[in-house]
Chains A and B, each alone.
Chain A
Amino acid sequence: MTASNTRPGTTGGADVPGPLHGGPDDDYTPEQLAALPREELDRLGARYDGVEILHVEPGPEPGSALEKRAVRQVGTMFALAGLSAFAFVVVYAGAGWFLPNWEWQLGSSTWSVLYTPLLGLTMALAFTFFGVGLVLYTKKLLPHETAVQDKHDGSHFDRVTTGATLVGGLHNSGLKRRKLITRSLAFMGGGLGLMLLAPLGGLIKNPNRGNPLGTTSWAEGVRLVRDDGTPVRPGDQEPGSLETVFPAVPGGNRQTDAATMLIRLRPSQQADASFRAGQEDFGYGDYVAYSKICTHAGCPVSLYEQETSRILCPCHQSQFDVTQGAKPVFGPATRSLPQLPIAVDDEGFFVARSDYIEAVGPTYWNRERI
């Protein structure tokens, strides 16, 4: 109605509207609405939305001490928020320009240590002052009104008429009678569904091929080396100590299943040490080697308590006794740590005599079978 129509052949939206279903525009003419004060219009609209304003407690008297005080408070909050925000920008942009550099340096000036906290503090203050100011504003300066809104359950009329439309459409489609169509549709749906899922097959791989879970890089003659690659010989370690060793293959120290603990038993430990059946000769002198991968959930077990001969897994506190073939003696682990059979090669360095004879790491469904 505010537009002028310059194109012949169109009505520019100015033609006669179709029959309406009635509504507020029929109830109130523009003249009537224009005659109503704003508060009335507000309440009128609310009433159309099922909302009744029960009571309004006006905000503080304009010009009163109470109002002045509230305005001062809110204004202070907003100003402080602005100040903090600008402070953030100054710290952020100023570092390395007119402020010391922000970049972290080992044991250096306090500034680089303060940079992130200062950013966080100024940003926190900016947001919080703004938020608190806003809440104070609504609490102290806005009128407090209490409103009630009606809650409607679903409309019977809507349900019946919508149902009729839906059922009508279904009826017109004749799908109920035209069996060939419904059946071919179902067939097609199944096919399309499978087709869309099929590419996920790319994710599926056979875990049993090559037995990757049951084997590691340990093999006959593979040396036991430290993380830095140096080989170990008997006598390098104090009795009662533990060293983590890896197979001497490329990348052996980063393999997830190869880490092994080489332990030198104290004479007293060795005296009452027992081993799993058939594994009595897996050690070498007072040396034994056990897998470092916890049989519970695969964490590296790492805390060796000499006095109790126990190795503790930090993840769920399973404890393994090195004098009993690394049997779990406490906690959720169920199986002993697998033992690596070791020997010493011609040059006097520790080597493996074979791979582990069982799968290392956590238990799984068919572990016993491979």
Chain B
Amino acid sequence: MARTATAPGAPKTLAGRAALEVDDRLIVAGPLRRTLNKVFPDHWSFLLGEIALYSFIILLLTGTYLTFFFQASMTEVVYDGSYAPLRGVEMSIAYASTLDISFDVRGGLLIRQIHHWAALLFMASIVCHMLRIFFTGAFRRPRETNWLIGVALLILGIFEGFAGYSMPDDLLSGTGLRIMSAIILSIPVIGTWAHWAVFGGDYVGDLIVGRLYIAHVLIIPAIILGLIAVHLLILVKQKHTQFPGPGRTEHNVVGNRLFPTFAGKATGLLLVVFGVCAGLGGLVQINPLWLWGPYNPAQVSSASQPDWYVMFLDGSTRLFPAWDIYLPGNYNIPALFWPTVVLPGIIFTLLLAYPMLERKLTGDTASHHLLQRPRDVPVRTSLGLMAITFYVVLLLSGANDVIADKFDISLNAMTWIGRIGLIILPPIAYVLTYRICLGLQQHDREVLEHGIETGVIRRLPHGEFIEVHQPLGPVDEHGHGQLAYGGAPVPKKMNQVGGARRAIRGFFSPIEEPRAVELEQRGEERGLAPADPHRELTSSGRPSEGGRPSEGGRPSEGGRPQEPRD
């Protein structure tokens, strides 16, 4: 062994030497350093995509476990497992093996329920993630590809979820499958052929559970996994968007490096997501399919709702009027076709095309890395709320029998409320949102011009009362602020600009001296007059989140960055 240990920079510790051995072979030091140094913006809304990712990991882990026990066969057997009420009942092997997972596999019920809860969380977090992307304009050039991938993930998620809850072959899932069969049949021209291709014949046959299974455990997850990989690779390449703020430009990202801060928080979030799913899976019963019984085409459980992410389609199906279209030659287009195939087709096409549509309509083809506040883009924000309203009406209509029952409204009234609401509520949402956006914009400008309302009323010599306003920055000779709006939140309360002392730390008893805190803060708020109660604040407006100064060290000011914190 050459005595190279004395060469400058040669590793002296065991770990260092091991690292050198690894890097000699794999040459990873460079890429690893680049990864560790990657800067992530620090805003809660960026965590939504991560929650989706983590719940997908849970789905992979728990799902793999379930495959050890689930048997995707429609062969009829007589059940003789632990669940006494169903003993002796004829059922498919698929249903029997799901009962076994629930009652005869130690801890199986926990894993099954975690899997289902994680699926609900996965879909919910994708939708929330998508809303944040939409309302902040993060989908604009150059990120259209990731938007497209995102919508594809959403659609795949719906199919994956549907396939998942249709496999156990219980009464509820059988009902869903029955409707799916009718939807496929309703497609003009090719409907019956498509049905025969999917089910291998007339409904229900004995193939469909096996086919759903392979789609659910292999085909769709593989595509989702691949798309997530591309989604994240593109994200790493393009780097994150960020909200505007001091020092943040179109050409940088301000935040924490991956290691250790971001990694610590992200892992923390991952564990909390795991914890929440485990808690739900153990404590909150979901899909107790032993209560539904095996699938039987002559039976149905009332209030049979699909999982929430399919419910909007159930709603549209309930609301759509009974309009079969008869064509010459005795052909017809079933009413079912419109709310279940055409409507989602339109919804998802619009969703996919939105970035391109907006680019066309606004003529804005530039690259954007700074996010927009929803109020600053009133048209998009209002369109978004319009879409959400439309969706929520559909969603609620998917449960209109339950609502009718709980609130003692007639079912027919609920249907009509849904039909009318679907048409008139979205435009109302548009107009209201538009007004609110403009109002918020105006208020921002007012505060920038006249300052923050301090709540201090002063009586002028001639008797007039005025409220003292705290300017956010330098003022001109008329006392009007000269700060321009920069797309970042404008502080609107005095304690957002340091007008109040921060709370003393300590839970049951204070752990710091109030005096020390005051001194500390005075040091921080360099440039402020010493603490006299009538001081006028003259520092420039500090963007603020939740009343606390944001991170983002204000390099633009050239001075020492102030109290970066999150």
Contact = CB atoms under 8 A, between A and B. Distances in A.
A45 B37 contact: yes
A244 B182 contact: no
B412 interface: yes
Contacts of A102: 106
B62 to A, nearest CB: 12
B253 interface: yes
Contact of A128 (B272, B324, B331): B272
B252 A149 contact: yes
A58 B194 CA distance: 65
Interface residues of B, number: 126
A130 interface: yes
Given A148-B253, A331-B318, A361-B182, A66 B505 contact: yes
- Please classify the interface of chain A as helix (H, G, I), strand (E, B), loop, or mixed, using the class held by over half of its residues: mixed
Contacts of B202: 207, 212-213, 256-257
Interface in A325-370: 328, 330-335, 361-369
Interface in A271-318: 292-293, 296-300, 302-303, 312, 314-318
Given A128-B275, A315-B179, A364-B192, A148 B247 contact: yes
Interface in B334-385: 334-336, 339, 367, 369
B261 interface: yes
A45 B9 CA distance: 15
A205 B175 contact: no
A120 interface: yes
A30 B300 contact: no
A204 B197 contact: yes
A99 interface: no
Interface in B289-336: 296-304, 314, 317-324, 326, 329-336
A181 B57 CA distance: 47
A122 B352 CA distance: 42
A95 interface: yes
A269 interface: no
11 contacts: A2-B1, A49-B34, A106-B85, A116-B282, A147-B254, A204-B197, A206-B196, A293-B297, A299-B179, A317-B401, A361-B203
Interface of B: 1-2, 4, 7-9, 20-21, 24, 33-34, 37-39, 82-85, 103-104, 106-107, 109-110, 113-114, 175, 178-179, 181-183, 185-193, 195-197, 200-204, 239, 247, 250-257, 260-261, 264-265, 267-272, 274-276, 278-283, 296-304, 314, 317-324, 326, 329-336, 339, 367, 369, 400-401, 411-412, 415, 505, 511-512, 551-553, 555, 560-561, 563-566
Interface of A: 1-4, 29-31, 33-34, 45-46, 48-49, 51, 53-55, 57, 65-66, 69, 92, 95, 102-106, 116-121, 123-135, 137-139, 142, 144-151, 153, 203-208, 212-213, 227, 244, 246, 253-257, 259, 292-293, 296-300, 302-303, 312, 314-318, 328, 330-335, 361-369
